[in-house]
A and B are shown apart, each in its own frame.
Chain A
């Protein structure tokens, strides 16, 4: 087994240098925005994520070490295996990320990353503290190990994937050449992902290759006449790291405690964020449907559909 470096550890000085550069660029041009309270919250969440990774990482490591013996193949360490593993890991990332937005149990963890109303390089580092406890790695991390890719290789390409995603958290980079925008996840595509405008909600889940979104119908181009508004549907209004970390978990506990049946409890726990038994709260699907209905009415096309059944938001082709 080759001695693989930790890409994230190597990248940290580069991250710091790029954040300083973006802050200076923001000050000089106004093309990005930073606010000390928000910056502090994002960076403290990032540091906490590293600490929790060290403290709780053994849970995932123990799982992968356990399942490694059931691998279908022994793929080994050939150069091409790294390339294949990187692409397949990104495919798995797409689905893992998509489920992180559509299952409240996993959203409670991932919402941390979306909780800033700013969008700059520090937002990339705003990461959850309790990720290993959600057990998402069992559902999405096991596939490549069971196929036969070495655990260390899967961890290595996963770290490369995360390092790639750092630079796309910026407003300073406009759209890139067409072929890059077609294949790769870019700042433009990821701005859409972080935006709460109804047309942008729950779109562009990709990590490195945006082709997954194009393939599975979740792609949305950044529109010139629809400026991204960043954050979450119900913004927090606080930079307190503990509130940022725990707020959705607290919400789940409160809702489940108040549930009137097992079905309701399961809905609050594993349903989409914003789910409620009577539909009185707004999930992304409901917001998008209301918005589509409103757009249709504004355009004189009727707009009589029920919110749940309304057509999905238009997906302009690139």
Chain B
């Protein structure tokens, strides 16, 4: 690939192929967004990802895009987030979350995590959001 013209053609062809494959993937479908509607399932997911995590009390966001699960002994807070068709988990000890704040029924999290700097969990109502905010306040440096 020393010839710049051939190189440009190869790259243009590759870019077209990439665009075509993404378009084809969209066109034929076959995937569905992950839904978190069962705190027990969210806890099980955390237990799979984090060896030794014993799920305790949990709650799922009203839109099914997030779940909060406290460890049975209250030592750690587990967070499960739906990302596309997959879920992503994080576990925090007290003081490891940068900030938790409430905006109506929504709980907003900020993390010192380059790949996941913030997250939002929209709970069923303001009361549930406030109840969880106070439960998990100790995991945040700011609350």
Contacts and interface: CB of A to CB of B under 8 A. Distances in A.
Interface in A216-239: 229, 231, 233-239
Contacts of A27: 28-30
Contacts, number: 99
Contact of B25 (A36, A247, A291): A36
Interface string A122-145: 100000000000000000000000
A290 B31 contact: no
Given A20-B24, A34-B31, A294-B51, A47 B18 contact: yes
Nearest to A39: B25
Nearest to B31: A35
B83 to A, nearest CB: 5
Contacts of A40: 18, 22
* Interface-central residue, B11, B51, B116, by most chain A CB under 10 Å: B51
Interface residues of B, number: 33
Interface of A: 6, 9, 12, 16, 19-20, 23-24, 26-27, 30, 33-40, 43-44, 46-47, 50-51, 54, 117-118, 122, 196, 198, 229, 231, 233-239, 243, 246-247, 250-251, 254, 282, 287, 290-291, 294
Interface of B: 1, 7, 10-11, 14-15, 17-18, 20-22, 24-26, 28-31, 48-49, 51-52, 81, 83-86, 88-90, 114-116
Given A12-B17, A16-B17, A236-B88, 19 more contacts: A9-B10, A23-B21, A33-B30, A33-B31, A33-B85, A34-B25, A35-B25, A35-B31, A36-B26, A39-B25, A43-B22, A47-B14, A51-B11, A235-B88, A237-B81, A238-B115, A243-B114, A247-B114, A254-B114
